[in-house]
């Protein structure tokens, strides 16, 4: 299937793969996951043990 009428007749150049952008994206994802885990720990840590044990006991 020839898609050149839709994409134009520009030749595809040589693309040099660098690891900077994937590295930055992976570091950002790890930072967001770490901050989310830390925030969850802060919110969950304020509940007492009795409140946690009684969560499913309201049936």
pLDDT in tens, 12-59: 677 777 899 899 999 999 999 999 999 988 887 666 666 667 666 555
Helices (H) and strands (E) in the chain, counts: 3, 0
Dist. CA 19–CA 49, nearest whole Å: 46
Query: Any idea where the domains of the chain sit in the sequence?
Result: 18-56
Dist. CA 52–CA 9, nearest whole Å: 65
pLDDT confidence of residue 42: 86
Residue carrying the six token digits 């570091």: 27
pLDDT confidence of residue 35: 97
pLDDT confidence of residue 32: 98
Q: Which two tokens stand for residue 44?
A: 């969950």
């Amino acid at each position: 299937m020839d898609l050149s009428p839709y994409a134009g007749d520009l030749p595809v150049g040589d693309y040099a793969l660098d690891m900077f952008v994937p590295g930055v994206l992976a570091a950002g994802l790890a930072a967001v996951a770490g901050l989310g885990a830390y925030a969850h720990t802060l919110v969950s840590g304020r509940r007492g043990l009795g409140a946690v044990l009684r969560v499913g006991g309201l049936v």
